[in-house]
Structure 1
Amino acid sequence: MSTSKKDYKRITTKSLVEMKKNGEKIAMLTAYDFTMAKIVENAGIDIILVGDSASNVMAGHETTLPITLDQMIYHASSVVRASERSLVVVDLPFGSYQGNSRSALDSAIRIMKESGGHAVKLEGGSEIKESISRILTAGIPVMGHLGLTPQSIYKFGTYTVRAKEEEEAEKLKEDALLLEDLGCFALVLEKVPAKLAKEVAQSVSIPVIGIGAGNGVDGQVLVTHDMLGMTHEFHPRFLRRYLDLYVEMTGAFENYISDVKSRDFPNDNEQY
């Protein structure tokens, strides 16, 4: 299998399938605002996920459940304005697609029309197949999400690793094949055993993006604020911190406060 990297001017759903076929790993990060999205975009990211994790990261909620469709559209619109190459995938928030396929389609259409996003992501398998099918009939690309699905946290009762038991692992494998058959262009596997994730990735032709799912999948996704060390209290095994911005930013803020208090800022060269 080739591992050569093709220079894509714009990442599309077709590009991602080609990347999997060519053995090129897919890099995906979150963004919720224009400034962060512009930095991530300029670094060369393949996919920007406007995740419902904005509920935690941006708004301080304990779970992803409180964020609304209007809020997701606001965040997505900001990110889309920064995107020139990357594919922008937007989470459908809790309550906007479960149990009613017509509502699911309406929600997806609103995201596509009002934010300019390129695709939507939904959590779940066979339970939401009608919603996925209806969205796809409108020509809207869908990314699936299996394993730990944070919108169902109160059902699971914990953020622990999913599909360790055979019954749940079999359902996950069946759901992955179902999502591919329905027409999803990719899927996220969150917090599942690496061996199982690799097996799933090899069983489907669509890209599988992992978070806490080992290195046998087709790509990886992290929450940008986590990998930058801004959310310093979050320490899952799968997270690699590439910076410690919490410490760096705290130091910068303390220096600013000190300079203001001591009247060192602004100096003669920093005023008109």
Structure 2
Amino acid sequence: MPRIFDFGGREVERSLTVADLRQLKGSGRHVAQVTAETAEEAAAAEAAGIEMVICRAANVPRLREGSKRVFVTAALGFAEAITDDEILRSAFAAVTGGADAVLTSRSAEAVRLIAREQIPVMGHLGLVPRKSTWMGGMRAVGKTAKEAAELWDRFRGLEDAGAFAAECEVIAADVMAEINKRTSLVTVSLGSGPSADVIFLFTSDICGESQRLPRHARAWGDVKRLQDQVKQERLAALKGFRGAVAAGDFPAKGEVAAIPADELEAFRLRLENGS
């Protein structure tokens, strides 16, 4: 496992580095990425052998409590980092706090700003949900030759801006395969087929927590069933408590502190004597 100094000046072990990710190009190998926002989720990802996680930038310290080894990409908030100064401050805060890279869905200029500081930066291409109004809704990208060509131009724009990777969301799989052969970017497929370098799914989809499973996802667990069971048990317990209070059954004698009878009598005498 590689040992590096992170951007916070700490000597650390990582599951992989940016250099390792770049070496995936043309190798036929893939690594896996999932979402994580808590120490528990980060620890579970590491224990499962997941190499990469992505989180909101503010949650990087929490993730590092759960895993020192996974490759963490911090997503910069859309409204939290607007000006050039805010973008840079957010990016530096994320990487000095333990992130290995940052992701921005902003313009190529924002990518260039971060890349100039040699902070590994990932762009976001294909379906960008926050920008889906331009596409007329949530849909796959690259299903026509014209749209695929426009997408390829955006890949080249990210390359020129200095990005090392791109999150590729819901791009037609055959188009993704053709682009992946030609781009120098590390490609991260979220619903864009198996030809990318990194295969990405949301932890909530993988674990069966989502209300609706996207077509591009698959569930290997049924955490929602367990969560529903926990909700039912919580409600039953709270109702039981309320009923016991109403009935005078709680607290019972064994659930309160006791005072010896002679001490209680002495206390009563003091009260009666006004002392």
Q: TM-score scaled by structure 1?
A: 0.76
For residue 209 of structure 1, report the CA deviation from its aligned partner: 1.1
Deviation at 1:242, TM superposition (A): 0.8
Q: CA deviation at 1:21?
A: 4.2
Q: 2:90 aligns with which of 85, 102, 107?
A: 107
Determine if contact 2:34/2:52 at 8 Å carries over to the other structure. yes
Q: Paired residue for 1:147, among 126, 139, 155? A: 126
Structure 1 pair 169–260 and aligned structure 2 pair: CA distance change class (3 A): same
**Matches of 1:104 and 1:226, distance apart in 2:** 30
After superposition, the C-alpha distances for 1:197-239 in whole angstroms (9 at most, x for unaligned) are 11111111332111111112222111101211111x2222101
Gaps of 5+ in 1: 1-6, 52-71, 264-270
Task: Indicate the SS of the match to 1:254.
Answer: helix
1:30 aligns to 2:35 (yes or no): yes
> Is the contact made by 1:105 and 1:131 (CA closer than 8 Å) also made in structure 2?
no
- Whichever residue aligns with residue 40 of structure 2, its letter is T
**3-state SS in 2 of match to 1:210:** strand
- Asked if the contact 1:209/1:219 (under 8 Å) is kept, the reply is yes
The alpha-carbon deviation at position 241 of structure 1 amounts to 0.6
Q: Which amino acid aligns with 1:41?
A: E
SS at match of 1:116: coil
Select which of 156, 159, 168 maps to 1:177.
156
Gaps of 5+ in 2: 3-12, 242-254, 256-275
Residues 1:47 and 2:25 aligned together: no
Greater RCO (CA < 8 Å, at least 6 residues apart): 1
Query: Is the Cα–Cα contact under 8 Å of residues 29 and 221 in structure 1 kept in the other structure?
Result: yes
DSSP-derived class of the 1:32 partner: coil
Residue aligning to 2:225: 247
**Displacement after TM superposition at 1:137 (Å):** 1.5
Find the partner of 1:160 among 118, 121, 139: 139
Tell me by how many angstroms 1:83 deviates. Answer: 2.4
User: CA distance change for structure 1 residues 171 and 103 in 2, over 3 Å: closer, same or farther?
Assistant: farther
1:117 aligns with 2:99: yes
Counterpart CA distance in 2 for 1:144 and 1:260 is: 47
Tell me which stretches of 4 or more aligned residues in structure 1 moved more than 4 Å: 255-263
Alignment pair present for 1:95 and 2:95: no
1:252-267 mapped onto 2 (5 Å cutoff) = 252-255=230-233, 258=236
Identical amino acids, percent of aligned pairs: 27
Q: Does 1:84 align with 2:68?
A: yes
Per the alignment, residue 210 of structure 1 pairs with: 189
Deviation at 1:29, TM superposition (A): 0.2
Q: Is the 8 A contact 2:191 2:216 kept in 1?
A: yes
SS in 1 for 2:94: helix
Aligned equivalents of 1:129, 1:260: Cα separation in 2: 53
AA in 2 matched with 1:94: F
Question: What is aligned with 1:20?
Answer: 25
RMSD (CA atoms): 2.4
Displacement, 1:193? 0.5
Deviation at 1:246, TM superposition (A): 0.6
Deviation per residue, 1:14-63 (Å, 9 max, x gap)? 11112334322010000011111111122111111005xxxxxxxxxxxx
Supply the AA of the counterpart residue of 1:101.
D
Aligned residues: 231
- Is the contact between residue 20 and residue 207 of structure 1 (CA under 8 Å) also seen in structure 2? yes
User: Aligned in 2, Cα 1:254/1:95: closer, same or farther, shift over 3 Å?
Assistant: closer
**2:116·2:162 contact (CA, 8 Å) conserved in 1?**
no
Counterpart code for 1:78: R
Contact 2:123 2:167 in 1 (8 A): yes
